[in-house]
Amino acid sequence: MKSKTWIKLTAWVAAIVLNLVIALVYFNVSGLDGGFQTQLTKGSEYAAQGDYDRAIKHFLKAIDIAPDSPVGYIQAADSYERTGQPQQAIALMETLIAKKPRSVESFEYLLRLYEENGAPIQKQIDLLSEAAMLFDSATYADRAGELLLQLSTVGPPVLSLEAGAYSTPQTVHVTNLADGDEVYYTTNGDTPVKTSTKYNPKNGISLKKGKTLVTLLRYSADGAASQPAAYLFTIGEGMTAEERGAYTAQNGNNLSNGGTVVFAGNNTYYSNLNKSGFLYSQSDGLLVEDKASYLNLSGGFIYYVNGSDGNRVYRVRVDGTERERVLSAVSGPLLLANDRLIFQNRSEDSSLYSATLSGGSLQRITPDLATSIAVYEGDVYYRNDSKGGALYRSSLDGIDHSELVGGACGGITVDGGYVYYISAGEDGRIYRVPTGGGTPEAVTGASASEFVLAGGNLYFRDAAQGGIYRCSTSGGSATRLTTVDGAKLNVSGSTLYFVNYADGSSHYTMSTSGGNLTKLGT
């Protein structure tokens, strides 16, 4: 009997020990909080690197683990704001406020979002009233009372010109200002708030060539706000279909990879990343000691963004002579199409501009913050960072613009009636969508960090595994060309050019079918 009791006792103790071991392993892996702090830490690390899309994923995981803690919500909302997605931030904080327990910090955060993004006054009053009751705070009650005063009727701003089409640039003024009134406005489709551009009665609002949607909000001297008023203006005449067809960027996807290589005849010109990014010729060596990027070629000149002169646009002949500055504006990405330079004008809120090859006739294409641009048959396709990184299209004359795909994208290029891009969302794969709009379709099964199109094929770097791959532009299985990890891909004929990470970022070439790996300049 004692023997059986001893066996049972031993088994019971062994079970307890086993459960303790399992618990210790679990807590060692996930933490005592189920991984909550781990997800917050990872999210904060990505946010510090500016990779807010990945940061959001980890903050949302933290919310799933601890749905009643305000920390994950506020961190995720902050990342949404930094990626130009205030409405997602608002929705997330509203979810938190609907839960219990709640904090003063979470209420203040949502109130700020409401104020800065033009939420209805009644919505702000309701939130303040709830905070006043929850925290027994006279301050919140007073703020709610101040907003109630703003519900008095204020007429919307009236402009000196009716909305419509005009042949020449115009300047419009608000005609119904009273003493003490303030007007705020936007020209990018957003609802104006008190952090938007403040109207200056002396200067008015200038309307440049293209379409401009002016949205205005008026505040009276006692703080009462009007309803927004919107006016759509079209300035100038658009390009004909024949004129637009002449404008396609000469170097394809070169720009999305930093524009480090261009080709002319049997020669290759490139930014030598091992030599401070200076401009080199494969046949002649050093051309100029300028840190060159976004290389373009036209009429015997190489056009480039000169990092040695504050990112101004320069040009130099292919033999290294006649170097000169073309544009005094600070430039981001640069493309050349026919007789126009298309560039991100960082001297003008990073909006998209065009100019002649000599730097004249500067024209704004769109006020959007445009990056990762491509030009195809008179249309500019770009990542619109004013709209959360969505894929947009604007005519080169600035008359028409529209959204093609919502959600963040990058690496944009156009070929054969399709826009190809990398989805910066969850999967990071390459997609394509018709240039006229439609349903996106995946081209690659793997995530990609960059790619280039040539000869009906797509060459890309696998973001997860490294190495360079090839697949058809219509999709299908991918072939690995090399395990060498490289970037800044470009293709000329049957030769693939890339920067070899394993060799100090030196430029290499290889066959587009794989093999013949050669260091450039040797």
Say what angle helices 121-135 and 104-116 make with each other, to 10 degrees: 170
pLDDT of 9: 54
- Mean local confidence (pLDDT), 174-181: 92
Residue 95 has pLDDT above 70, yes or no: yes
Domain with CATH 1.25.40.10 in the chain: 36-119
pLDDT confidence of 125, banded at 50, 70, 90? confident
Please provide the average confidence, as pLDDT, over all residues in the chain: 84
Mean pLDDT, to the nearest integer, of 263-269?
Answer: 81
pLDDT, average across residues 478-505:
85
pLDDT band at 26 (very low <50, low <70, confident <90, very high): very low
d(CA 321, CA 378): 32
DSSP-based three-state secondary structure for 43: helix
At residue 473, what is the residue type? T
Inform me whether the pLDDT recorded for 286 exceeds 60.
Answer: yes
Q: What is the pLDDT of residues 66-84, one digit of tens each?
A: 888 888 899 999 999 999 8
Assess whether pLDDT exceeds 60 at residue 254. no
Checking if the pLDDT of 1 tops 80, the result is no
Residue 31 has a pLDDT of: 45
Confidence of residue 470 (pLDDT cuts 50, 70, 90): very high
Query: Rounded to an integer, what distance in angstroms lies between the CA atom of residue 241 and that of residue 119?
Result: 42
Q: Which of 135, 161, 313 is nearest to 235 (CA)?
A: 161
The proportion of the chain whose per-residue pLDDT surpasses 90, expressed as a percent, equals 34
Task: Establish how many alpha carbons lie within 13 A of residue 133's alpha carbon, considering only the half-sphere containing its beta carbon.
Answer: 5
- What is the structure's pLDDT at 488? 83
CATH 2.120.10.30 positions along the chain are 241-519
Answer whether residue 218 shows pLDDT above 90. yes
Every domain range in the chain assigned CATH 2.60.40: 164-235
* Mean pLDDT within 261-272: 82
**Can you tell me the distance from the alpha carbon of 390 to that of 5, in angstroms, rounded to the nearest whole number?**
71
pTM of the model as a whole: 0.61
Q: Is the pLDDT of residue 357 over 50?
A: yes
Segment 287-318, tens digit of pLDDT: 999 999 899 889 899 999 999 999 999 999 99
Of the candidate ranges 18-27, 52-61, 100-109, 120-129, the one whose mean pLDDT is the lowest: 18-27
CATH number of 241-519: 2.120.10.30
Picking from 69-83, 165-179, 247-261, 406-420, which range would have the lowest pLDDT averaged per residue?
247-261
- May I ask the CATH architecture of the domain 164-235? Sandwich (2.60)
Domain 36-119 has CATH 2.40.128.520: no
CA distance 296 to 304: 6
Q: How many helices (H) and strands (E) does the chain have?
A: 9, 32
Task: Tell whether the model's pLDDT for residue 212 goes beyond 70.
Answer: yes
State residue 33's pLDDT score. Answer: 58
* More confident site: 507 or 89: 89
Model confidence band, residue 267 (pLDDT cutoffs 50, 70, 90): confident
Amino acid 327: pLDDT: 93
Write the CB contacts of 323 (distance below 8 Å, at least 6 apart in sequence).
Answer: 288, 290, 314, 315, 316, 317
CA-closest candidate to residue 225, choices 161, 148, 331, 306? 148
- Tell me what pLDDT residue 17 has: 46
pLDDT of 189-203, one tens digit each?
A: 788 988 899 999 999
- Smallest CA-to-CA distance from 233 within 160, 159, 157, 163 is with 163
Look at 38-47, 257-266, 453-462 and tell me which has the smallest mean pLDDT: 257-266
What share of the chain has pLDDT > 70, as a percent?
A: 90
Q: Which tokens go with 101?
A: 């327990």
Residue range 89-100: average pLDDT?
Answer: 87
pLDDT tens digits along 375-411: 988 899 999 988 889 999 998 888 888 899 988 888 8
